[in-house]
Amino acid sequence: MSLAKYIIISLTMLPAIGTIAQTHLKLGRIDVYDDDFHAIADTNCMIEILAESLEWAEGPVWVHDDKFLLCSDPKRNTIYKWSAEQGFQSFFSPSGFTGKGRYSDEPGSNGLLINHSGELVACEHGDRRISKMNLQNGYKETIASSWDEKRFNSPNDICQSEDGTYYFTDPPYGLPDRENDIKNREIVENGVYKISTNGQVQQIISNLDKPNGIALSPDESKLYVALSDSRHPYLMSYELEGGSVVGEGKILFDFGSNQLLGNGAAPDGIKVDKEGNIFMAAGRGIIVINGKGKLLGRIFTGVQTANCAFGSDDWLYITASNYLLRIKIEPASM
């Protein structure tokens, strides 16, 4: 392992929607903990700010066919859109709560996904469901809203296997009183769920305190679950056989015991590249490890970082605090 090399990165800011002007705001840096990180990220590239007007940026997803980025703002109950041609703009609202009045601090959508049919799949906090929407006509329908005849807590993040199966996490973050919401909560567990192609919902993991980000390994033999728990800030790895979890899982990466990253970091959203490297939003940046749990590097944003997504245009898009960011990455990592 090489010593950490600190590379200060000047950021590109957007003074107005749809325009780009370079400044020298030093909001971030690249930390290289292993030489293999140079094959993943171009450490000479700048992190660009595409938007800075969100309240809490979450759930980015790249729409490959139409070349634009969607992201959630669960506090504003809105999904936003960014493209190189049109800049940053509101795309869809309400995104996660269609009821009257105030529901919670984060009633909107969180994790987003473009499924195999090209539909937008959303984890909806307020309406407590997984939904899908046709991007052409805006028609939305429910994929699942309950398990064992009990409503979900607040679906948070989601991934899809090659055969169409969905896996998602269901912590209490979107409930009015979060984990203390006795009035509205129907499921005791902060579960991880599987939705089969026939619509059947199964609770596949039930013993986690704060499951958050979720992703599959490239060969779909492993399911990764991030725990946003300051007491147990782990990335968990579960073996899959036939789409089902086998065994109790293991800690692939422990943020609490890694001195290089400092204190207070716990994983949020996660994505996996084609080589099996895992990009994890945690603390104030994106932590990158390989499939064996070895720490490779960090894209340090300097602000609380929620999630990331690969684009088909050689960029990694990042949602962090009120920002939508991007940084150039190597095509082999996409």
| Gyration radius of the chain over CA positions | 19
CA nearest neighbour of 95 among 66, 150, 56:
56
* Amino acid sitting at position 251: I
Do 289 and 280 touch, CB atoms closer than 8 A?
A: yes
**pLDDT at residue 15, rounded to an integer:** 32
CA nearest neighbour of 295 among 36, 43, 38, 46:
36
- Tell me the two tokens of residue 99: 């009821």
Q: What's the CA gap between 121 and 28, in Å, rounded?
A: 31
Q: What's the CA gap between 195 and 271, in Å, rounded?
A: 20
* DSSP-derived 3-state class of residue 249: strand
Backbone angles phi, psi at 318, to 5 degrees: -130, 135
Do 209 and 142 touch, CB atoms closer than 8 A?
A: no
Q: In which element (H, E) is residue 91 found?
A: strand 87-92
Token pair 């190189």 is at which residue? 84
* DSSP-derived 3-state class of residue 331: helix
Q: How many CB atoms sit inside 10 A of residue 164's CB? A: 13
Q: What's the CA gap between 183 and 117, in Å, rounded?
A: 37
Chunk the chain into consecutive blocks of 10 residues (it has 334) and report each block's average pLDDT, rounded to whole numbers.
Answer: 33 33 54 92 84 97 95 98 95 96 96 98 98 94 98 98 98 92 93 97 95 98 95 96 92 88 84 96 95 95 95 91 92 52
**pLDDT at residue 299, rounded to an integer:** 94
Max distance between CA atoms of the chain, in angstroms, equals 55
The DSSP 8-state label assigned to residue 271 in this structure reads E
Do 227 and 208 touch, CB atoms closer than 8 A?
A: yes
Q: How many CB atoms sit inside 10 A of residue 120's CB? A: 23
- The answer, as to whether pTM is greater than 0.75, is yes
Q: What's the CA gap between 178 and 184, in Å, rounded?
A: 10
